[in-house]
Amino acid sequence: MNGYRYLAGIVTGSVSLLKGMRVTFANMVSRPHTVQWPRQTAPLPARFRGHIRMLADEETGFPRCFACGSCARICPSACITVQGRKPGDRKKKVAVRFLLDFTKCSLCGLCVESCPARALAFSRDYALAGYRDTEFRTMDLLEGLASPFQF
Amino acid sequence: MSAPPTYSLESTDNGNFLLNLGPQHPGTHGVLRVVLQMDGEYILAADPVLGYGHRMQEKIAENMTYLQALPYVCRMDYLGAMSYSLAWVCAVEKLCSFEVPERAVHVRVMACELNRIASHLLWWGAYLLDLGAFTPFLQAFADREQILDLLEYITGSRLTYCYFRFGGLAADVDDVFLRRVEDFVTGFRQRLPRYHDLVTGNVIFHHRSKDVGVILPFEAAGYGVTGPCLRGSGFAYDVRKCEPYSGYDRFEFAVPAEQEGDCLARYNVRMAEMEQSLAIIEQAVATIPDGPYRARVPRVIRPPAGEVAMAVETPRGELVIFMVSDGSTRPCRVKFRVPSFANLSIFARLARGQLLADALAILGSLDMVIPEVDR
Ligand code: SF4
Ligand code: SF4
């Protein structure tokens, strides 16, 4: 009886192994799930949350931010430093300095949501690399945007 | 609590020695250190050492506004972050008596269940990796990837979602998402038998997991074990059924339980749970109403003074958030009762007298996330 059980165990065991191998071989000839990065990239969804970036006003090209400080206050990690001034002829302030400490940012998105001017958006930049952390400690989000101030 | 034991790495007279399992061991899935007292291949005593990943989550939450603490709770259990967000927002909503629109409730349930399947899949792959099989890991990741893509589509993030808000969601879902979820449910149902072919019936797997690490029912209750580990020991206890929250009472699902209490039973419970989650998702997609996705709540959350306890079934077990409000914008006291911590407490008892390789099988079957243990 024991010998019979032993043999039956070997047979059912072998069958189970073959069944598993069938799955493995089926996978071997199936289409790969991976993409060959960096030659190919996987699609990014529209809501992808990269580091934040500053949007420009369509008319003036200046940053949309009017330095209300709401994003800096809501940020859980205190990553945002923002300062603004009033250009001579206008009532609203415009940001002169907007620094992001990306080393501390948790990409939570609360700042983007809290901005009354809808001045912030997520970038689609995910392959950030640098030689030292200072490169990401004070990221200047106003870079490349026009400014109403003369320096 | 007794004084912390001191360890010496010298072997004693009778040939026993101490072995450090971790803090960087692939079988511990994080920075968990277990000091093992060994007699050859057998474990005489196991002593988990915690705290390598301690970040004072409770204290951090007490120093932040309710909204600011939301991204942090996801960092405890990064594999089941949706359930953690859900627990946090539900606790605050309970405290402030906010109503949540129907549509948001459905999306929340959908997102949490997708997250649960993703978490179980990762566990499945990693557990088999612990037992020495590599193919299942890749198989599970291929499917998990689809869930992450789905969740990324609505939340913009792959692990630490931070998607729920007090009174609803951060953003609405569209029809494309709902269709994709339906497709995933159909597709994953068809692929599940492959999982069983690959592993469940496998004779080697059976030998490694059957009658290994048996948690007796009274022990499970005594140690406060919850989740699939508790259900593997014969208790069909699931917070989603026993204290329904976030509209779980609207959906039909079973609570799978097994009697044996061994690693195989916990495995079977998780496999069955994935099917139940699929059923819940299917119902949520079918019955999702139109309407607002976020209720109008005050911009600054200032709950009335009082306290609240919110229990949620995460993929790993019962999470309880206890929160005391003093009427200000920050919680006065926050306490997280996390499932992994309680589940780890029984490990020392289970590992005693086992082979080292079996101890790894047991550790894996408890499905712990170490940052959650340390928090
Ligand atoms: S995404 Fe979150 S952590 Fe990052 S800057 Fe914005 S608010 Fe701060
Ligand atoms: S919330 Fe918007 S407008 Fe206010 S400081 Fe931040 S970016 Fe500028």
* pLDDT tens string B48-76: 888 888 888 888 888 888 888 888 888 88
Q: pLDDT at position B4, please? A: 52
For A43-88, give the secondary structure using H, E and C. CCCCCCCCCEEECECCCCCCECCCCCCHHHHHCCCCCEEEEEECCC
**Hey, are the CB atoms on A47 and B153 less than 8 Å from each other?**
yes
Question: Whose C-alpha lies nearest to ligand 1, atom 8?
Answer: A75
3-state secondary structure of B207: helix
B117 pLDDT tier (thresholds 50, 70, 90): very high
Ligand 1 atom closest to A78 (CA): 8
B1 pLDDT tier (thresholds 50, 70, 90): very low
Assigned fold of B57-374:
Cytochrome-c3 Hydrogenase; chain B (1.10.645)
Rounded distance from Cα B332 to ligand 2 centre (Å) = 29
Rounded distance from Cα B304 to ligand 2 centre (Å) = 29
Q: pLDDT at position B9, please? A: 52
Q: Tell whether B71 is within 8 A of chain A (Cβ).
A: yes
**Hey, are the CB atoms on A106 and B64 less than 8 Å from each other?**
no
Residue A107 placed within a domain:
yes
Closest residue on chain B to A34 (Cα):
B142
Average confidence (pLDDT) over B301-320: 88
Q: pLDDT at position B369, please? A: 84
Q: Tell whether B171 is within 8 A of chain A (Cβ).
A: yes
For chains A and B, count residue pairs whose Cβ atoms are closer than 8 Å: 74
Q: Which of B52, B18, B32 is nearest to B360 (CA)?
A: B32
Whether pLDDT at B2 is above 60: no
CATH number for position A118 = 3.30.70.3270
DSSP code for A150: -
- In tens, the pLDDT along B214-245 reads 888 888 888 888 888 888 888 888 888 888 88
Choose the closest CB to B156 out of A9, A20, A48: A48
Cα gap B186→B188, rounded to integer Å: 6
Q: Tell whether A76 is within 8 A of chain B (Cβ).
A: yes
Rounded distance from Cα A79 to ligand 1 centre (Å) = 7
Q: Tell whether B160 is within 8 A of chain A (Cβ).
A: yes
pTM here is 0.86
Whether pLDDT at A1 is above 80: no
Q: Which of B209, B342, B327, B320 is nearest to B270 (CA)?
A: B209
Average confidence (pLDDT) over B119-123: 91
A88-102, B124-138, B270-284 — which one is most confidently predicted on average?
A: B270-284
Ligand 2 atom closest to A54 (CA): 7
Residue ranges lining ligand 1, Cβ < 6 Å: A 52, 75-77, 79-80, 105-111
Q: Which of B258, B281, B40 is nearest to B182 (CA)?
A: B281
Q: pLDDT at position B10, please? A: 55
Residues from chain A that touch B203, judged by Cβ atoms under 8 A, are 9, 12-14, 16-17
Place of tokens 């400490």: A101
Q: pLDDT at position B159, please? A: 86
> ∠ CA B362-B50-B325 to the nearest 5 degrees?
110
Q: Closest approach of chain B CAs to the CA of A113, in angstroms?
A: 8
**Hey, are the CB atoms on A17 and B203 less than 8 Å from each other?**
yes
Q: Closest approach of chain B CAs to the CA of A48, in angstroms?
A: 4
Rounded percentage of chain B residues whose pLDDT exceeds 90: 6
Q: Tell whether B329 is within 8 A of chain A (Cβ).
A: no
Q: pLDDT at position B237, please? A: 87
Q: Tell whether B154 is within 8 A of chain A (Cβ).
A: yes
Residue A18 placed within a domain:
no
Arithmetic mean of pLDDT over chain B: 85
DSSP structure string for B118-187 = HHHHHHHHHHHHHTT--HHHHHHHHHHHHHHHHHHHHHS-SS----EETTEESS---HHHHHHHHHHHHH
CB neighbour list of residue A38: distance below 8 Å, 6 or more residues apart: A127
Among the bound ligands, the one closest to the CA of A110? 1
**Where does residue B1 rank: exposed (0-12), middle (13-18), buried (19+ CB within 10 A)?**
exposed
Residue ranges of A 84-123 with Cβ closer than 8 A to chain B: 106-110, 113, 122
Q: How many CA atoms lie within 13 A of A80 on its CB side?
A: 30
Specify whether the CB–CB gap between B311 and B318 falls below 8 A. yes
Residue A33 placed within a domain:
no
Residues from chain A that touch B156, judged by Cβ atoms under 8 A, are 45, 47-49, 109, 122
> ∠ CA B40-B41-B46 to the nearest 5 degrees?
95
- In tens, the pLDDT along B139-172 reads 888 889 889 988 988 888 888 888 888 888 888 8
One-letter amino acid of B123: W
Q: pLDDT at position B375, please? A: 81
Choose between A76 and A145: higher pLDDT: A76
Whether pLDDT at A89 is above 80: no
Q: Which domain holds residue A107?
A: 52-125+132-140
**Hey, are the CB atoms on A45 and B201 less than 8 Å from each other?**
no
Residue A46 placed within a domain:
no
Integer CA distances (angstroms), B131 to A7, B40, B128, B359, in order: 25, 20, 5, 11
Average confidence (pLDDT) over A73-96: 82
